[in-house]
Structure 1
């Protein structure tokens, strides 16, 4: 599970905007906006949530959930050591074809 606050904090740690996160997760900007506007735990399409969490993980973000070992407890995010600035996913061939048309 990920909360809207964790998502905003993760973006801040990565120093990326909503558009860049949308590209990394292969989601639309409105989807990212809806997720960040959520109250508490983000709810949504399971596939979209999996893409989001996977993109954050690949970018070096660790989600800290309740019950996970941390010095003060509670939820949070952490940037793994030696995490490089994430690069946007390459467009799929269908997206490339749509742009060409």
Structure 2
């Protein structure tokens, strides 16, 4: 949705590129702290993660809350 590369997401989340690659291909689930960092990076860029509420989980654009780096 953001058009970020794996390197850009890894940088924004302060995790390794391997963490992003493995997560995207379903090879492993990152450690809890890495997942939190990835979520915060996406949310700071304006992504809203919608919890399961009977209609299914989802993603939408919101207003970026970050410092404008990405």
Normalising to structure 1: TM-score of the pair?
Answer: 0.58
Partner of 1:98: none
Partner of 2:30: 44
Ranges of 4+ aligned residues in structure 1 off by more than 4 Å: none
- List runs of 5+ in structure 2 lacking aligned partners: none
Aligned residues: 68
Give the whole-Å Cα distance in 2 for the aligned partners of 1:53 and 1:31.
Answer: 13
What's the CA shift for 1:64?
A: 1.3
1:80 and 2:56 aligned: no
What's the CA shift for 1:87?
A: 2.3
Considering only CA atoms, is the larger Rg found in Structure 1 or Structure 2? Answer: 1
**Higher helix fraction (1 or 2):** 1
